[in-house]
Amino acid sequence: MLLDAYNWLVTLDKPNAQHPLSHVAQSPVAAGSKRVLLASPRGYCAGVDRAVIAVEKALDHYGAPIYVRKQIVHNKHVVASLETRGAIFVDEVDEVPIGSRLVFSAHGVSPAVVAAAAERELQTIDATCPLVTKVHREVQRFAADDYDILLVGHAGHEEVEGTAGEAPDRVQIIDGPEGAANAKVRDPNKVVWLSQTTLSVDETMETVNHLRTYLPTLQSPPSDDICYATQNRQVAIKKVGADSDLVIVVGSANSSNTVRLVEVALQAGAKAAHRVDYASEIDETWFEGVETVGVSSGASVPEVLVDEVLDYLAARGYGDVRNVTTAEEDIQFSLPPELRKDLKAAGQDVSNKQKRD
């Protein structure tokens, strides 16, 4: 079930068990003053989980190689793990041998990419997140009604390219408040704003408010485009950031929602916030005078990478880990229908589950 991102449950007052490495703590500051606030929800969202499992099951069922257009999700570790199993990541469909099997990433693709794949007779599996597909449908619907569509999002991001590609002659990309003044519309009574799914909620509303100074009749999306996972992780990091001297967000540089988490933590009051792909990227100098470390991770980050960060922190005296839970998530998306059909025909498991290390 899709949760209301603001219907959250705060359990800050309930410390969880000590991290297993807490016994090795050697604290240079007052004993007991160091702690970790661990944001929850964090890490994998339903769309990322589904996309990664789709590639894993495709490799198991059809065998390697399985081609994937762009990074299946924006995380170095996930991409490297799938590559070792036989996935081949390409930028465009013309790099894929004719007739091969190709997975579209969670970020979605434009109709032009789908057409190019069909032209090469590729057997495609569409792992686009259903919440991205929802925004594609909104573009199709408003374009069919002859609206101008102002798509708030980052120019050049794969998701934005795919969404805008649904109606290139009707969509204008508005990249931040400074882009608002450039919007050109034909009829001020037929203009709607939509957005990328992984933006900062607050910054998006700032951009929309700018747009409204030029276009008071601007219509809002029929429902939130910024997805539940992005919103939930931002609410949690806000709570954590407000009480942290230092925040560490695990995730890759090209992951939009990860980068937003760093920004939101700083806006919430964290004295410093850094993004790392791996614990090995943490800089010892960040900890000078730090008592409370906030930790979270982007929606494409497997929990093993957070565990490594917690191990690193515990080894430096930050073994007291407290959960800061602002929402519970139990959302799952079923596997792409093309894959489900083949798995079912072969009598294999079609559930959205995969055994991981």
Out of 56, 138, 158, 159, the active site residue is: 159
63 sits in the region (left: phi over 0; alpha: psi -120 to 50; else beta) called left
Q: Helices 46-62 and 130-144 meet at what angle, rounded to 10?
A: 110
Distance CA 27, CA 315 (A): 9
In the structure encoding, which two tokens stand for residue 213, read together?
Answer: 């100074």
Identify the residue among 5, 48, 103, 117 touching ligand SF4 (CB under 6 A). 48
Choice between 7 and 26, CB closer to ligand SF4 = 7
- 234 by Cβ neighbours in 10 Å (0-12 / 13-18 / 19+) ranks as buried
Identify the residue among 25, 39, 103, 131 touching ligand SF4 (CB under 6 A). 131
Identify the residue among 198, 207, 252, 297 touching ligand SF4 (CB under 6 A). 198
Choice between 122 and 229, CB closer to ligand SF4 = 229
In the structure encoding, which two tokens stand for residue 212, read together?
Answer: 């409204």
Tokens 């969202």 belong to residue: 45
Rule CB under 6 A: is residue 227 a binding residue for ligand SF4?
A: yes
Identify the residue among 37, 58, 93, 129 touching ligand SF4 (CB under 6 A). 129
In order of 8, 86, 102, 357, the CA distances from 326 in angstroms are: 5, 38, 38, 27
Rule CB under 6 A: is residue 258 a binding residue for ligand SF4?
A: no
Identify the residue among 207, 230, 255, 326 touching ligand SF4 (CB under 6 A). 230
Identify the residue among 52, 55, 87, 229 touching ligand SF4 (CB under 6 A). 229
Rule CB under 6 A: is residue 294 a binding residue for ligand SF4?
A: no
Least spacing, CB of residue 129 vs ligand SF4, in Å: 3
Least spacing, CB of residue 58 vs ligand SF4, in Å: 18
Rule CB under 6 A: is residue 106 a binding residue for ligand SF4?
A: yes
In the structure encoding, which two tokens stand for residue 268, read together?
Answer: 């919430």
Choice between 45 and 160, CB closer to ligand SF4 = 45
Looking only at residues 140 through 159 of this chain, which bind ligand SF4 when binding is defined by CB under 6 A?
none
Choice between 36 and 229, CB closer to ligand SF4 = 229
Least spacing, CB of residue 304 vs ligand SF4, in Å: 18
Strands (E), 182-224: 191-195
Rule CB under 6 A: is residue 335 a binding residue for ligand SF4?
A: no
In the structure encoding, which two tokens stand for residue 172, read together?
Answer: 């204008």
Contacts of 262 (CB under 8 A, 6+ apart): 247, 249, 273, 274, 275
Q: Annotated catalytic, 159?
A: yes
Least spacing, CB of residue 254 vs ligand SF4, in Å: 13
The string of DSSP letters for 49-108 reads: HHHHHHHHHHHHHH-S-EEEES-SSS-HHHHHHHHHHTEEEESSGGGSPTT-EEEEPTT-
Least spacing, CB of residue 353 vs ligand SF4, in Å: 17
Helices (runs of H) and strands (runs of E) counted in the chain: 10, 12
- Of the listed pieces 173-181, 224-232, 259-267, 289-297, which binds ligand SF4 according to CB under 6 A? 224-232
Strand bridging mode 191-195 / 171-174: unpaired
The residues binding ligand SF4 (CB under 6 A) are: 45-48, 106, 129, 131-132, 197-198, 227, 229-230, 257, 299
Instruction: Give catalytic residue positions.
Output: 159
